[in-house]
Structure 1
Amino acid sequence: MDKKNALRAGTLAAGTTLMMLLMSSPALALTRDDGDDPGSGLSVIETLGLYVIAPIALFVIIAGLVMVLDKSDRRPKAKAKA
């Protein structure tokens, strides 16, 4: 019974995805709207800098600040002798 439900759910998901793809109209992306004023495109270097290097740099900066500003004692505490 569980296999039948999984098959039904998979079929439904695939059918829904297929219908959404068929109903979307990528040809309308070529038609300009009123007031549409696109700028110049980005070069490869600008794209890599914006979407790859900048997020990595922000992650490194934030991680570094967290490590530097962390005031907790990282040394393990000695066990009390009984």
Structure 2
Amino acid sequence: MDKKNALRAGALAAGTTLMMLLMSSPASALTRDDGDDPGPGLSVIETLGLFVVAPIALYLVIHALVVIGDKSHKKKDPTSSNIATKAEAKSEVKA
């Protein structure tokens, strides 16, 4: 019974999506609206810098800040996240 319900739900979702795509009108991007004043276009270098280099640089900055913050936490609190310290403590208790 579960396979029939899943198949029915999938067919309904696919059919609904297909009908919405077929019935929607295309965006009229080629006709200008009143008051529309587009600026100058971006060059290839500007586009790559804005949409590729800038996000990668932002990711690396955030990643570096998180790693620096995480390393300082491990030095301050060895009992909560440092497994080597726990293992050494157990071996000292046995000896």
TM interval, short-chain normalised: 0.7 to 0.9
Cα displacement string for residues 38-74 of structure 1 (whole angstroms, at most 9, x for unaligned residues): 1122222222211111111001011112222342125
Runs of 5+ unmatched residues, structure 2: 76-81
Task: Spell out the pairing of 1:3-82 with structure 2 (5 A cutoff).
Answer: 3-26=3-26, 28-70=28-70, 71-73=72-74, 76-77=84-85, 78-80=88-90, 81-82=93-94
4+ residue runs over 4 A deviation: none
* Larger CA Rg, structure 1 vs 2: 2
Residue type matched to 1:38 in 2? P
Distance in 2 between the 1:58 and 1:7 partners? 43
Runs of 5+ unmatched residues, structure 1: none
Q: Which has the higher helix share?
A: 2
Distance in 2 between the 1:42 and 1:19 partners? 36
Distance in 2 between the 1:10 and 1:46 partners? 42
Distance in 1 between the 2:21 and 2:9 partners? 18
Identical-residue share of aligned pairs (%): 70
Distance in 2 between the 1:22 and 1:49 partners? 36
Change in CA separation of 1:27 and 1:61 when aligned onto 2, cut-off 3 Å: closer
